[in-house]
Amino acid sequence: MSTFQAPKGTYDLIPPNSATYLAVREAISVPLRNSGYGYIETPGFENVELFARGVGESTDIVTKEMYAFETKGGDKLALRPEGTASVLRAALEANLHKGGNLPVKLWYSGSYYRYERPQKGRYRHFSQVGAEAIGAEDPALDAELIILAHQAYRSLGLRDFRILLNSLGDKECRPVYRAALQDFLRGLQLDEDTRRRIEINPLRVLDDKREAVQEQLIGAPMLRDYLCEACKTYHEQVRELLTAAGVAFEDDPKLVRGLDYYTRTTFEFVHDGLGSQSAVGGGGRYDGLSEMIGGPALPSVGWALGVDRTVLALEAEGITLDIPAATAVYAVPLGEEARRVLFGKVTELRRAGVATDFAYGGKGLKNAMKSANRSGARLALVAGERDLAEGVVQLKDLVSGEQTAIALDAVVDEVRRALG
């Protein structure tokens, strides 16, 4: 055992469990790749001001959870706590929005970092797959992204998740609601930190999970009662498109999400089998974020789905993904000449696209066959001196136990035929 362990609140992904995480990432990305979204990858750290401006200086993410540090050169950086600000920064820096082909549709996958109290489903290092559609204000884009996330979860076999939907209004109607909400909140018995939040971003108080706060929020003004006609019409179009696509959702007037940049459409995917950490993903429209970080006006919408949370949701529903074994064929040489010849055949099989492994380290037949079974391989190739003298190798079906001799020069074709 090593002297060192993974830092508190983090985890290592190791086989065979890591295969499930890869399968989840793939399932989420497939609908995106089929819908015009191109892959983007950004650094694991950014200028700390990018998140302060974009995510919001009043959010817990920036004030309490961000891993910020100063480099030897004096640069103030932060490990990325979320993906949207980084992706939008990269798109602006590369002038992707100037090509005239808007929206710019991007998807990404990676690790993110927040200093939180570790618990099941909430880690200090976590994995997400996200998608952003940059540069267009269209209810169909909002609906598209929700539908694609829904499609991804369904493809994994998940059924016990719900979609919560709300509108946060825009720069025309939200200030009126903000003032009404502040008047209401100032009359409540709240701690000093929460009272400061009332003045900076009162909508975040609605997202406070503490029971003592939620009890006092009964009767608070609802944003839906303050939406302007343009926002009402926009939101209704999103709802109609989702309904027409057969995607069920629940209207949640208290849904505000944890980031300052959201406008109009906001949504969350929740799974009832995960207890208090029920959110598996979410997102919304962020029409003013580009301007917040120094770019032009670029109305945009996006989401991020938690890979860790999705894996927990699969476990909660008792779903085991059908993941092909990493190895289809396992080669077992008996003797030095067989080792040389079989290694050559392993290379041929790999070049032909057949997942093949080899009994390294001079294992005896018994131990090598145990390794073959543990690998999950369907077939074993076994050869000794007598086999080579006859120009054959033994092809053994590790499921049925049947074994046949096949010609050395026909190994690739015979293995492909046996694998179907």
Rg (CA), the chain: 27
Residue 72 in tokens: 């030897």
Q: How many helices (H) and strands (E) does the chain have?
A: 16, 16
Given this model, what pLDDT does residue 118 score? 81
Same domain, 370 and 300: no
Given this model, what pLDDT does residue 5 score? 92
Mean pLDDT confidence for 243-256: 92
135: left (phi over 0), alpha (psi -120 to 50) or beta: left
Q: Per the domain annotation, does 377 fall within a domain?
A: yes
CA distances from 115 to 95, 123, 161 (A): 33, 8, 27
pLDDT of 63 strictly over 80: no
Same domain, 259 and 380: no
Mean pLDDT confidence for 288-300: 93
pLDDT of 1 strictly over 90: no
Q: Per the domain annotation, does 145 fall within a domain?
A: yes
- Number of domains comprising the chain: 2
**pLDDT tier for residue 274 given thresholds of 50, 70 and 90:** confident
At 186-235, the pLDDT tens digits run 988 888 888 888 887 788 788 777 888 888 888 888 888 899 999 999 99
Same domain, 132 and 37: yes
Given this model, what pLDDT does residue 386 score? 93
Same domain, 268 and 347: no
Same domain, 146 and 70: yes
Show which of 260, 283, 316 is a domain's final residue.
316
Range of the domain at 353: 329-419
Under 8 Å CB-to-CB from 304, ≥6 apart: which residues? 82, 83, 84, 128, 129, 130, 281, 282, 283
Q: Per the domain annotation, does 189 fall within a domain?
A: no
**What does the alpha-carbon distance between residue 70 and residue 82 come to, in Å, rounded to a whole number?**
19
**What does the alpha-carbon distance between residue 250 and residue 243 come to, in Å, rounded to a whole number?**
11
Same domain, 283 and 337: no
- The CATH number linked to 375 is 3.40.50.800
What is the phi/psi pair of residue 247, to 5°?
A: -100, 115
CA distances from 274 to 41, 52, 197 (A): 29, 30, 29
Q: Per the domain annotation, does 322 fall within a domain?
A: no
- The CATH number linked to 269 is 3.30.930.10
Return the closest-CA partner of residue 89 out of 302, 282, 284, 291: 291
Residue 20 in tokens: 């499930």
Same domain, 100 and 162: yes
Same domain, 128 and 259: yes
Q: Per the domain annotation, does 181 fall within a domain?
A: no
Given this model, what pLDDT does residue 208 score? 79
Residues belonging to the chain:
420
Given this model, what pLDDT does residue 222 score? 87
At 345-399, the pLDDT tens digits run 999 999 999 999 999 988 889 999 999 999 999 999 999 999 999 999 999 999 9
Q: Are strands 392-397 and 403-407 parallel, antiparallel or unpaired?
A: antiparallel
Residue 121 in tokens: 């489903």
Same domain, 304 and 340: no
pLDDT of 259 strictly over 80: no
Place of tokens 């540069």: 135
Residue 158 in tokens: 């998940």
**pLDDT tier for residue 260 given thresholds of 50, 70 and 90:** low
Q: Per the domain annotation, does 222 fall within a domain?
A: no
**What does the alpha-carbon distance between residue 118 and residue 280 come to, in Å, rounded to a whole number?**
16
Show which of 316, 338, 357 is a domain's final residue.
316
At 316-330, the pLDDT tens digits run 999 999 988 889 999
Same domain, 342 and 389: yes
Same domain, 269 and 308: yes
**What does the alpha-carbon distance between residue 368 and residue 144 come to, in Å, rounded to a whole number?**
51
Given this model, what pLDDT does residue 58 score? 62
Q: Per the domain annotation, does 185 fall within a domain?
A: no
Same domain, 166 and 237: yes
Q: Per the domain annotation, does 77 fall within a domain?
A: yes
Show which of 256, 286, 316 is a domain's final residue.
316
**pLDDT tier for residue 119 given thresholds of 50, 70 and 90:** confident
